[in-house]
Structure 1
Amino acid sequence: MNQRPDNRGPMMYWPFNEGAGASALEYVSQVRDEIQYVFKQAKFTEPCDPLWRKSALGGGLSFDGYSTYISHSFQEEDPAGTSQYRSAISIGVWVAPRSYEVGDDGKLSAIVNRHNKEQRQGYLLGMYRHGSWSFQVGLEGGEWKEIWSPDGYELPKYEWSYVNAVFDGNQGEMKLFLNGRKIASTGLPRGSRLTEATSTNLLIGKNNHSSQLAKVFSLHMFSGIMEELKIYPRALSEDEVAASYQLVLDSTCEGVHPSLKYDEIKLDRTPLLADRHRPQYHVSPPAHWMNEPHAPIYFDGQYHLFYQHNPHGPFFHQIHWGHWVSEDLVHWRDLPVALAPEKDELAPDGIWSGSATYDADGLPVLFFTAGNDSASPNQSVALARSTYSRDKDPDLVHWVKHPEPLIVQKKGIGLFGDFRDPFVWKDDDGWYALVGSGIEGEGGAALAFSSQDMLNWTYKGPFFKADIEKFPYLGPIWELPVFLPLGSDKQGVNKHLLLVSPVGEGADVEVFYWIGQLDKQNLMFIPDQEEPQLIDVGDFHFTGPSGMVDPKTGRKIVFTIAQGDRTSELEYQSGWAHNGGLPLSVYLREDGRLGIEPIQELESLRGEKQLSLRDKSLSEANVLLQDVQGDMLEIRLEMEPGSAKQFGIKIRRTPDGEEETLLYYDLNHSMLLVDRSKTTLHPGEKCGGTQGGNLELHGENLKLHMYLDRSMVEAYANGLKSLTTRVYPSRRDALGIQIWGDGSLTVKSMEVWDMQSIW
């Protein structure tokens, strides 16, 4: 038999103290509400229940920010749901936000709501931009009333806050309380009554009228932990709110405000470790969206790498700087978000790509693109400093933004409105910056700036620009310029590497490069040859470059995003989008060409060696390969063509060949190619067709160094080119390997290792 609320107690109460399971008890009615969560019916990983968290409060339900919510329906006889008008209502809840939404369409990320703003009905308690929060109600007579948190009373991320909202129609007042104290009130006509939205369910963690992104993702959802949600049919007094807060402190926290450790609230990568398509030895966020990794830097024995990240879900929105740290460039640890949009005049609308360097004292600094939609242009170059000390912040977790932008684009400097992705380096003469932009009517460009103090910058002109008439695929805009020293060639001439990523109409969105010389006096780049080259020929899977000179080894290392090549529907179902490529060492070869190799440290991930062979024919090699299989492998292969004009290797192959991916070399056309026409039978996956590009071997055997990591395929050919692609087989037995050729050939050598997860 259902319990009924008394006049003093809550009419609805979710303790969220279950600690496990896929439902939450509404204590008053004794109804168990199903918790919606994407991995309850997982498509690509092991099914699991929603995530619960233990903390100083005892525990709580973790909301992932895009799929976790509760819908509570009402029985006909339930007075909590059937009353058409209310003279009073109070809500109390403990919340710990993980991130904030941008506030699309002026809507709140709902904590709890049963409302229809258009019809001026119901109530909504939720969060908005930068941690502000609001309580909103529809009144009898068709008025919609809102009360907002004042400045300075935002809900902090990664911390517990006790939130109370009170509607008192009889006294004509709405009030907000934070941690037991009243922080805001607003007047109403005495005798006001709340009009219930009786035609809709009560939702926890999701807005009743959320906006849609890509027709798949519901925005305005809560991200973080929630506990002890109570809704009262009366107006709580200030003393009652204060007493309820103090009761929790006294009973669970020895009289002090409860603390929350980062590990208790951080995004959890555990559900994704079993995802059969998610790479496990490539760097990735714990969950959700990333695009390019950037700002690599080595400091105090550790490598730091940042990345563009949406902590709210696996879709592009509200970009932050995620953060990893590593001692070996292979095994990475997740750290808290380093930079996020804040309520300031600098970057309230996005923290976009940038780079890292050192200040005059040798401490790391971050240069980033500050997004501010109220400014024109909405992009400028900004700076953040670390709070580092060995005992205070050894992992460089905390960063403080310089309050004003350092470089603001003026008309006449580049393509106005496109000004982003600063790449900054330091030498004995000062600091230098390249900013991605374009030249009106001419094409993409990297713009050059210099500074003597890292704060005041002088524009020096275009560092290098495209000839869009000759090379239209270089596009009207360049993003993510990277400039690295390569050392001296055989003639003793000092050479450098310039990388750019074209975007805009007509652009081929790949990583193009030139080798050339630096004219330091004029701060210009002079390429050895006009036509750009590609590092990778895999067609849009190797993008978003960043780079560094490793102070530990002197190597020049390039990082990239490995694009995921999936639909929004599949990214919703999988809970993640994109990952980093393997770190790539680039160098100047004896023949003057650019050499590329995966970093040697990756050998530390090798497990059992499945195969080692030499000087075998195609058929002999395939007999030995019959029992070799896996989706996390390293393969080294050298092939000498006999009569074969096309030859290579089939990977992720089912025993019957129904699904397979063929990576091969076309000798007649000097091309490295991948054929994905049989990669997957899954009707929703996009991967297919044949991609590739030019690779001149000049009579050498084909030497492939390949890495398979579930959906990732990276092949490095003769130290000259890479081919990065994606594969999403539908069949779980797509694990086989087979040598292929259209004629006779010799497998000069082949080694296959299992690879281990870095997580």
Structure 2
Amino acid sequence: MVPVKAEYRRKQVLYTDQGEHSLIASWSFDEGQGNKAWDIVSGKEDNITFALAKGRFQPPQHPVWRPGLSGTALSFDGYSTYIRRWSGEVGKPTDALSIAAWIAPRTYDIDHDHRLCPIVNQHNRDLRQGYVFGLYKHGSWSLQLGLGNEWVEVWCHDRPIPKNRWSFVAAVYDKGNGTLKLFLNGVEAASLTHPGAASISPCEADLLVGRHNEEAMLDGPFVKNHFDGLMDEVRIYSRSLRGEEVLHLYREALELHGGLIPEIPSEHLTISRELFSRDRHRPQFHLSPPGHWMNEPHAPIYYNGRYHLFYQSNPRGPFWQSIHWGHWVSDDLVHWRDLPPALAPEPGIDSDGIWSGSAALDENGVPALFYTAGNFNLNPDQCVALARSTFVEDGDPDLVRWVKRQTPLAVQPQGVEALPGMFRDPFVWKEDGRWIMLVGGGLIERGGTAFVYVSENMEDWIYKGTFCVSDFAKYPHLGTGWELPVLLPLKQGGRNTGKHVFLISPWGTGAKMIVHYWIGTYDAANLRFIPDDDEPRPIDVGDIHFTGPSGMVDPITGRSLLFTIAQGERTSELEYDSGWAHSAGMPVSLHLRNDGRLGVEPIREVEQLRDRLLLQLSDVSMDEANRRLQDIHGDLLEIDIVFQVGSANRYGVSVRRSPEGEEEIELFYDRLRERLGVDRNHSTLDSRERPNGIQEGSLELRGEPLHMRIFVDRSLIETYANGLKSLTTRTYPSRTDADGIRLFADAELRIESLRIWSMLPIFQP
């Protein structure tokens, strides 16, 4: 059925009598719902492709619609939303072409081969056929045509299309005078005259809206060059619009808004967390982006009564590319709000990447961000950069706005055998009136290191050598370089011990990419770290799931807090269909135990997420416990269990268990081998999912009974054992009834205590 409003607009859309017959296609996007868009020229309803429409892990979702210039607009998600019109079903312009659209890009693609993110395109560049109109890096834009035997391009670089607001863009070609023109908000922005009269060479490719019709593969189903943002009133003409016609279309659209371009509420631009709320695998009480991709959380800071935490984010889709700094804020470290990206690649110091770093208070006590900036036109192409909050100037309470310094704070040191291209992830703190910064790197033929710098004013930094260096020949699992160096003091019973923990993430050849740590002495005078033992230890025994460390000293409690990523371990095909990738690990508190070992505990604030106490038992047999567990089901749970010391060798807890154990994972302790582990050989019947096999690592209990705190958060399972080790893993059961719990042991064993709570989500609607 043709929308009434769209039919009315069809009659009003043209400025001249001849225009109606020159339209090739026109989408008003006034449907406001569903998965089809009506073209008023052909009368066809075109299918809108959208990854979540498959309904693979939740009920099928329709594409997202938002208020437009008139009626509604279609939101393109940056990786899967587009419209395809088969080549034989659309007219092909020859002697003239005009394209007009209202767009509000959310992000720009970071591309280096001059491939546009199209608004519309039907082209073959190699054969010099057809046309493409769209955006490029940092908001530059272009119309490109196959004219005769040439490929001709007109570009606008000096008036980039702004993000997060509406712009009316138009592109025009006229064979009669050989001109290509670009218009922004009714005004000519760029032009090019092509010598000689040439027709547009027809292209037999399909016409696509929002996606490049010459796909460049990224990984699996992911392809480059999708439009990301809102689009409205897209029109393609087979004639050349005059300048006054373009201006008329612009003004006509604004009549409903008093002649002004309407503002777009931020919630209409963001990827909605609600889109993924019914995904049966998506964690609910661990930190995650609203949607799409994240890797390590970093740069925690407390300011003005709130905790801020940032994270590596690709708002364009659930794949690694186009990294921004995502941003969360919390009053209590457990309930969080999403904020807009804090940092994005821009022309200048970070034109090709915004990567991990840290945060500290500047000389005025206002937050500053230290980050890894990438610019591929420079050598070396990484440096440490600085962005300062605008809080002092405009009282920005959520720290949404940041101003970047456009010159590097630090570059890879010269005169040392530094590993080329390995200089990243600054970690900054203030000590005795000066700021100290560690930067991850490596030394050729030696191993990973952290370079150390000092500043009296946060602007001018002096290189002070290497903080600590690993021996790659002796410990190849520490890699050839280090990422994400973190230094935190260790307290015992709330008192300073003089000991610190130094954490790194290995990188490069041979690296075992989990968080490793040393306990040792920090020599503040010489800016060196002296580990108590040569070989570091892992905090987590779950292989790749607990990585990417970042930390802070909580100014409220004095605790040393650690944040990590809990990776997803899925194929790119599954991440494409689900629309999200990865989560954060639970924030943990680090301390020095009485026995000199590192203490690792979930922050106590997590208890605020407990909803209902589902079961409480003490001093019962395992048979009795399992009988009572038959009535306990859920995929958002905390399980606190203490096993009595007994004769059993292998024992533990099975979670995400189907009624007969067809699907389950077993969290176990092997007493004789002193190993904490997880058996995932029966985690899922879905052969497309990756998690399988056994993950395990050393856990010396030294006579203590095994005490496990297990957090079941849909696909993400975290176990903390005796405050000594964590085990972070993933499971993606195919059965919806894989939500049970069962205890197991290879000999008689009693349960000292067992408590189970249902858990609440950390992001509020």
Question: What's the TM-score once normalised by structure 2's chain length?
Answer: 0.96
Residue 634 of structure 1: aligned partner? 638
Q: Is the 8 A contact 2:413 2:463 kept in 1?
A: no
Give deviations 1:37-60, integer Å, cap 9, x for gaps: 111112111211111012564420
Residue 148 of structure 1: aligned partner? 155
Q: Is the 8 A contact 1:40 1:49 kept in 2?
A: yes
Residue 65 of structure 2: aligned partner? 52
Alpha-carbon distance between aligned partners in 1 of 2:497 and 2:643, rounded to the nearest angstrom: 35
User: Superposed, which structure 2 residues align to 1:704-719 within 5 Å?
Assistant: 704-719=708-723
Residue 358 of structure 2: aligned partner? 355
Selected match of 1:211 from 207, 216, 222: 216
User: Superposed, which structure 2 residues align to 1:399-410 within 5 Å?
Assistant: 399-410=402-413
Give deviations 1:685-727, integer Å, cap 9, x for gaps: 1101111111111111100011000000000000111000001
Q: Is the 8 A contact 2:505 2:515 kept in 1?
A: yes
Alpha-carbon distance between aligned partners in 2 of 1:190 and 1:471, rounded to the nearest angstrom: 67
Q: Is the 8 A contact 1:170 1:190 kept in 2?
A: no
Selected match of 1:186 from 179, 183, 192: 192
Give deviations 1:283-307, integer Å, cap 9, x for gaps: 1111111110000001001111111
Letter in 2 for 1:119: L
Alpha-carbon distance between aligned partners in 2 of 1:233 and 1:530, rounded to the nearest angstrom: 72
Alpha-carbon distance between aligned partners in 1 of 2:495 and 2:304, rounded to the nearest angstrom: 36
Alpha-carbon distance between aligned partners in 2 of 1:146 and 1:749, rounded to the nearest angstrom: 72
SS in 1 for 2:107: coil
Alpha-carbon distance between aligned partners in 1 of 2:493 and 2:307, rounded to the nearest angstrom: 29
Give deviations 1:535-577, integer Å, cap 9, x for gaps: 1111110000000111122111100000100111111111111
User: Superposed, which structure 2 residues align to 1:368-387 within 5 Å?
Assistant: 368-387=371-390
SS in 1 for 2:421: coil
Change (3 A) 1:490 1:679: closer
Selected match of 1:134 from 142, 153, 174: 142
Residue 565 of structure 1: aligned partner? 569
Residue 679 of structure 1: aligned partner? 683
Of 404-413 and 590-599, more deviation after overlay is shown by 404-413
Letter in 2 for 1:247: E
Residue 237 of structure 2: aligned partner? 232
Letter in 2 for 1:354: G
Residue 517 of structure 2: aligned partner? 513
Alpha-carbon distance between aligned partners in 2 of 1:489 and 1:31, rounded to the nearest angstrom: 71
After TM superposition, the runs of 4+ consecutive aligned structure 1 residues lying more than 6 A away are: 1-6, 488-492
Pairwise CA distance, 1:681 = 1.1
Alpha-carbon distance between aligned partners in 1 of 2:411 and 2:44, rounded to the nearest angstrom: 57
SS in 1 for 2:249: helix
The answer as to 2:96 corresponding to 1:88 is yes
Residue 325 of structure 2: aligned partner? 321
Which sections of structure 1, spanning at least 5 residues, go unmatched? none
Pairwise CA distance, 1:269 = 1.5
Residue 13 of structure 1: aligned partner? 26
Selected match of 2:172 from 166, 182, 190: 166
Which sections of structure 2, spanning at least 5 residues, go unmatched? none
Q: Is the 8 A contact 2:211 2:226 kept in 1?
A: yes
Residue 121 of structure 2: aligned partner? 113
SS in 1 for 2:422: coil
Change (3 A) 1:73 1:520: same
Residue 748 of structure 1: aligned partner? 752
Letter in 1 for 2:502: L
Q: Is the 8 A contact 1:648 1:664 kept in 2?
A: yes
Q: Is the 8 A contact 1:319 1:351 kept in 2?
A: yes
The answer as to 2:480 corresponding to 1:476 is yes
Letter in 1 for 2:156: S
Give deviations 1:130-171, integer Å, cap 9, x for gaps: 1111011111x21111001131x1111111110000001112
The answer as to 2:43 corresponding to 1:35 is no
Give deviations 1:481-540, integer Å, cap 9, x for gaps: 001112479997511110001111111111011111111111000112222111111111
Q: Is the 8 A contact 1:56 1:259 kept in 2?
A: no
Q: Is the 8 A contact 2:492 2:591 kept in 1?
A: no
Alpha-carbon distance between aligned partners in 2 of 1:646 and 1:725, rounded to the nearest angstrom: 19
Residue 81 of structure 2: aligned partner? 68
Alpha-carbon distance between aligned partners in 2 of 1:543 and 1:332, rounded to the nearest angstrom: 21
Q: Is the 8 A contact 1:636 1:750 kept in 2?
A: yes
Alpha-carbon distance between aligned partners in 2 of 1:490 and 1:269, rounded to the nearest angstrom: 38
Selected match of 2:735 from 717, 731, 740: 731
Alpha-carbon distance between aligned partners in 1 of 2:480 and 2:728, rounded to the nearest angstrom: 25
Q: Is the 8 A contact 2:54 2:577 kept in 1?
A: no
The CA RMSD measured in Å over matched residues stands at 1.8
The answer as to 2:624 corresponding to 1:613 is no
Of 504-513 and 51-60, more deviation after overlay is shown by 51-60
Q: Is the 8 A contact 2:490 2:497 kept in 1?
A: no
Of 389-398 and 423-432, more deviation after overlay is shown by 389-398
Residue 585 of structure 2: aligned partner? 581
Q: Is the 8 A contact 2:684 2:731 kept in 1?
A: yes
Q: Is the 8 A contact 2:68 2:232 kept in 1?
A: no
Residue 246 of structure 2: aligned partner? 241
Of 491-500 and 535-544, more deviation after overlay is shown by 491-500
Alpha-carbon distance between aligned partners in 2 of 1:428 and 1:113, rounded to the nearest angstrom: 59
User: Superposed, which structure 2 residues align to 1:597-676 within 5 Å?
Assistant: 597-676=601-680
Q: Is the 8 A contact 1:294 1:306 kept in 2?
A: yes
Selected match of 2:553 from 549, 554, 559: 549
SS in 2 for 1:603: helix
Residue 122 of structure 1: aligned partner? 130
Alpha-carbon distance between aligned partners in 2 of 1:254 and 1:552, rounded to the nearest angstrom: 50
Pairwise CA distance, 1:391 = 6.0
Residue 724 of structure 2: aligned partner? 720
Q: Is the 8 A contact 2:101 2:233 kept in 1?
A: yes
Alpha-carbon distance between aligned partners in 1 of 2:368 and 2:398, rounded to the nearest angstrom: 14
Pairwise CA distance, 1:104 = 4.7
Q: Give the number of aligned pairs.
A: 749
